[in-house]
């Protein structure tokens, strides 16, 4: 790096790659002012490989170097390459401060920031899935879905959203919209719909298959968690289940419906009730 530092600092015609080397060297020596100056001059070239190296240096600085000069210079066609380069050069545990950094630029550079946020959050969910607590995982997925939707809405025409054919939309957007409905069903303890929704969404966006499998495991644990009930109530519930099974065998779905809904309200985590409700909906949908 000393070779680069000895080059004439006032030379306006320095190659952008040399400016990147000088910026990194100045940063490593603690001279942020000089590092920022070299970096700003380098990204003005708008060459993709320069922007990639600048982006990596900026994110590795975790806020000491400003992200704005980079976001100002790069265009939408370069976002994918830069994002891929960054995520390939980062471990999952590095991404939280990177996400925080990008969020601070949302107001001024919404499209670029949202693209980077979805890329970082996706890698965090895929590679860091085993490190995320159950209670935090739902929050992380909801945040990812929100950013995906905001980005897609910002770059796609309104006519596409007006179309009833969702196949025109990118798979991550379809994943995000379906996950929103799944979370609503989860919050209302509508477990049959949650299970059905998760089994459908797993085929929509393959990169997040591991995340969906984790959610399926979580919902199964939640359903199988024992609920506090007294013996009299359990006896009555068992009798109602038998009645529902008889009605289903006789294909008297309309009569079974209010009983199943009542059981679902009283025993939302009972696996047998979940199965009865799924069977009822399957028969009524035929």
Whether residue 216 is predicted with pLDDT greater than 70 in this model: the reply is: yes
Q: Break the chain into its structural domains and give their ranges.
A: 231-284
- The yes-or-no verdict on residue 48 having pLDDT over 80 is yes
159 versus 7: which is more confidently predicted? 159
Alpha helices in 89-208 (DSSP H): 95-103, 110-127, 134-155, 158-162, 171-187, 191-201
Compute the distance between CA of residue 129 and CA of residue 208 in angstroms, rounded to an integer.
10
Task: Inform me whether the pLDDT recorded for 194 exceeds 80.
Answer: yes
Mean pLDDT of 132-160: 91
Instruction: Compute the distance between CA of residue 279 and CA of residue 51 in angstroms, rounded to an integer.
Output: 56
Q: How far apart are CA 84 and CA 86, in angstroms?
A: 5
pLDDT digits (tens, 9 = 90+) for 101-110: 999 999 999 9
Mean pLDDT of 174-197: 88
Collapsed DSSP state (helix, strand, coil) of residue 106? coil
Q: What is the band of 124 on the pLDDT scale with cuts at 50, 70, 90?
A: very high
Residue 219 has pLDDT above 60, yes or no: yes
Q: Quick one: pLDDT at residue 3?
A: 47
Judged by average pLDDT, the poorest of 10-14, 130-134, 218-222 is 10-14
- Kindly indicate the confidence band of residue 30, based on its pLDDT and cuts at 50, 70 and 90: very high
64-90 pLDDT per residue, tens? 999 999 999 998 889 999 999 999 999
Of the candidate ranges 56-65, 135-144, 233-242, 262-271, the one whose mean pLDDT is the lowest: 262-271
Between 145 and 257, whose confidence is greater? 145
For 245-279, what is each residue's pLDDT tens digit?
A: 888 888 888 888 888 887 777 777 677 887 888 88
Q: What is the DSSP secondary-structure string of the chain?
A: -HHHHTS-TT-TT--HHHHHHHHHHHHHTT-HHHHHHHHHHHHTT--HHHHHHHHHHHHHTTTSS-SHHHHHH--HHHHHHHHHHHHHT--GGGHHHHHHHHHTTTTT-HHHHHHHHHHHHHHHHHHSGGGS-HHHHHHHHHHHHHHHHHHHHHHS-HHHHHSS-GGGS-HHHHHHHHHHHHHHHHHTT-HHHHHHHHHHHTTT-GGGHHHHHHHHHHHHHHHHS-----HHHHHHHHHHHHHHHHHHHTT-HHHHHHHHHHHHHH-TT-HHHHHHHHHHHHHHT-
**Which pLDDT does position 1 carry in this prediction?**
44
Q: What pLDDT does 103 receive?
A: 95
- Token look-up 């495991």 returns 217
Question: Which has more confidence, 78 or 10?
Answer: 78
């Amino acid at each position: 790096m000393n070779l680069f530092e000895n080059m004439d600092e006032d030379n306006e015609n320095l190659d952008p790659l040399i400016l990147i080397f000088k910026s990194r060297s100045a940063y490593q020596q603690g001279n942020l002012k000089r590092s920022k100056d070299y970096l700003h001059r380098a990204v003005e070239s708008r060459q993709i490989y320069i922007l990639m190296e600048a982006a990596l240096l900026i994110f590795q600085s975790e806020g000491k170097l400003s992200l704005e000069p980079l976001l100002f210079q790069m265009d939408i066609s370069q976002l994918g390459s830069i994002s891929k380069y960054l995520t390939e050069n980062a471990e999952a545990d590095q991404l939280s401060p990177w996400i925080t950094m990008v969020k601070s630029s949302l107001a001024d550079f919404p499209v670029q920031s949202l693209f980077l946020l979805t890329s970082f959050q996706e890698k965090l969910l895929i590679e860091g899935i085993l490190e995320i607590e159950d209670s935090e995982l739902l929050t992380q997925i909801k945040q990812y879905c929100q950013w995906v939707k905001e980005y897609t809405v910002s770059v796609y025409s309104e006519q596409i959203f007006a179309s009833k054919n969702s196949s025109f939309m990118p798979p991550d957007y379809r994943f995000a919209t379906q996950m929103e409905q799944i979370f609503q069903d989860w919050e209302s303890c509508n477990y049959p719909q949650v299970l059905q929704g998760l089994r459908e969404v797993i085929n929509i966006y393959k990169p997040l298959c591991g995340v969906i499998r984790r959610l399926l495991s979580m919902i199964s644990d939640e359903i199988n968690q024992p609920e506090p009930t007294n013996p009299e109530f359990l006896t009555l519930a068992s009798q109602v289940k038998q009645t529902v099974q008889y009605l289903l065998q006789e294909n008297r779905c309309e009569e079974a419906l209010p009983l199943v809904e009542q059981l679902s309200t009283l025993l939302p985590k009972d696996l047998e009730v979940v199965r009865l409700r799924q069977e009822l909906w399957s028969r009524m949908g035929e």
